[in-house]
Amino acid sequence: MGLAHGRWRGPVFALVCWLVGSFALSGTAQRNPVSSSPVYPGKSIGDFYDRLAGDLKQGKPLVVTVYVALCDNASQGIVRTKNPRICQGDHPERNLYWASSGGLMGHLRTQPWKRVLYRPSATDKIAITGVWTRRFRPGGALAKRGVSGRFPVYVVGLGYRGTEIHGAMVDYLKAVSGDRPEIIDIDGQTTIQFGGGAHIVGYVGHDYFMDVRDEASLLSHTRGQTTLHKGVFGLACHSDNYFRPAIQRRTNHILALNTQLTFPSAFTVLGIIRAVAAGKDHRGIHREAARAFAKGQRQTVRTMLRALSYGDKPLTEDGPHDQVEVVCRQQWGAKPMTRSYRDHHIHRITLHHQGVRHTSAQNTAERLKKMQQYHQSETVGFNDIAYHFIIDPNGGVYEGRPFNAVGETQTDYDPTGHLLICLLGDFDEQTPTKPAIEALTKLSTWAVQAFDTDVETIQGHRDHTEGTCPGSNLYRLIQEGTLKARVRELASSQRMELHIRCEPEI
């Protein structure tokens, strides 16, 4: 599906974008257009702090990876900066995005950070690699999770040659989707995991999405599937508009994107890091990032609050879209998995029923808790509830195991690559309700789009093994083709989004 209908792109933006960049370097205040409040609180940031606190308590450092596409008049520039020396993409030492007062190295140099590695390369696509560290005192969500004592933070900055902006964006997108965990040896004693293994992954540079014609090929680098929660930022002109289709996902917590034509400032990067170390929630991180951004740009905090967005937002304001509301695990009272998941890539959809009578008057959360308890029992031995999604007769959709984790079965087919959807009820005896079918149609539409699978892969459990699951009255919908026809129609006319809802708490 096209993701970019109606968005402005091309030289006009890029031109203004460059001008803002060069003004910012000389310290001239900007008059930015003021848009409406860019706040889209989607999911709780608590999952991110759970992962981070767990690592810190094991003595691991907080790792931030910043992909910097060095500014380059010759290969990226539509309009040249007034001072051509600051936009030569092979020269990090005087580059706007690396060495200026608002560049990553330039700003870190003025702060109490210690540089522990600095490796220029004359030939690689990455012209300069720098690693800096300092210790922070834990606060807020981290302190609440039992992190005590000062802990180390490492910033791994990768400065890509100007001509390699494509590579910078691809590596960023891969890391954002959990691919490319990489190891760097600092001093022969300390190794740290960065890239896809980092806690926070960010991009600084020109908004390359504005230049590419083939957005789909860029998006194809976001297929990595991970269960690790990450903080993500992208500092580039109008990244709020351009980056989201590539970076919004279940395990990513968007900490900052630019809503305007603004300089991708390292002040913002350090503001984000300080706020995360202090265990702040989304609002607190937004505030701290805006405060730092404002200082760097000599602007008011109020203006910069509007220039930065965070959280998830519906992706297609400019096209027809609908959404599937999903009740998150915590909300229905799920227990954690008992052992780790096995990752897979979804390529088909398989429908089940529970095979136990369930009506719209019954309590779904209680039923799900019992189902999970049974699945995790010694008798069955699954690590979690078997399915990825569960639908009740009221049309409620409930989050099961993460969809990038292979499901479970007691029968003899291999569920690797299958998205498992289970409808509550016994459809050899009951008939699926209208709301349940409607929810199933929307959820299947989302899956077909999200995993780029064929509608024909929607099948019933019984198509893969013995037994009657998902019950003859539900199976009929698949067999007669009515479900597939409806999904095909919906998928071709609009974009379906998945909203996993949780009570806001950290």
Choices 79-87, 208-216, 429-437, 465-473; region in contact with Zn ion by CB under 5 A: 465-473
Residue 1 has which token pair? 């599906």
What is the DSSP-derived secondary structure letter of residue 380? T
Q: Note the helical H segments in 318-409.
A: 329-332, 364-375
Choices 79-87, 253-261, 454-462, 475-483; region in contact with Zn ion by CB under 5 A: 454-462
Q: How far is the CB of 466 from Zn ion (least distance, A)?
A: 11
Q: What is the DSSP string of 55-122?
A: HHHTTPPEEEEEEEE---TTTT-SS--SSGGGG-TT-GGG-TTTTSTTSHHHHHHTTT-EEEEEEE-S
Nearer to Zn ion, 233 or 427 (CB): 427
Is 469 a binder of Zn ion (CB under 5 A)? yes
Choices 133-141, 291-299, 346-354, 383-391; region in contact with Zn ion by CB under 5 A: 346-354
**Would you put residue 333 in left (φ > 0), alpha (ψ -120 to 50) or beta?**
left
Q: How far is the CB of 336 from Zn ion (least distance, A)?
A: 24
What is the DSSP-derived secondary structure letter of residue 188? S
Q: How far is the CB of 476 from Zn ion (least distance, A)?
A: 16
Nearer to Zn ion, 352 or 488 (CB): 352
For helices 266-277 and 282-297, angle between their N-to-C axes, nearest 10 degrees: 150
User: Is residue 434 classed exposed, middle or buried when 0-12, 13-18 and 19+ CB atoms within 10 A define those classes?
Assistant: exposed
What is the three-class DSSP state of 368?
A: helix
Q: What Rg value do the Cα atoms of the chain yield, rounded?
A: 24
Q: How far is the CB of 396 from Zn ion (least distance, A)?
A: 19
Ramachandran angles phi, psi of 349, nearest 5°? -125, 130
Residue 482 has which token pair? 């009515």
Q: How far is the CB of 422 from Zn ion (least distance, A)?
A: 7
Ramachandran angles phi, psi of 284, nearest 5°? -65, -40
Nearer to Zn ion, 283 or 348 (CB): 348
Is 464 a binder of Zn ion (CB under 5 A)? no
Name 351's bridge partners.
421, 460
Nearer to Zn ion, 46 or 460 (CB): 460
Number of residues interacting with Zn ion: please give it, by CB under 5 A: 3
Among residues 230, 306, 352, 464, the one that binds Zn ion under rule CB under 5 A? 352
Q: How far is the CB of 245 from Zn ion (least distance, A)?
A: 33
Nearer to Zn ion, 249 or 461 (CB): 461
Binding mask 57-96 for Zn ion (x = CB under 5 A): ----------------------------------------
Is 461 a binder of Zn ion (CB under 5 A)? yes
Q: How far is the CB of 374 from Zn ion (least distance, A)?
A: 14
Nearer to Zn ion, 422 or 437 (CB): 422
Give residues in contact with Zn ion (CB under 5 A): 352, 461, 469
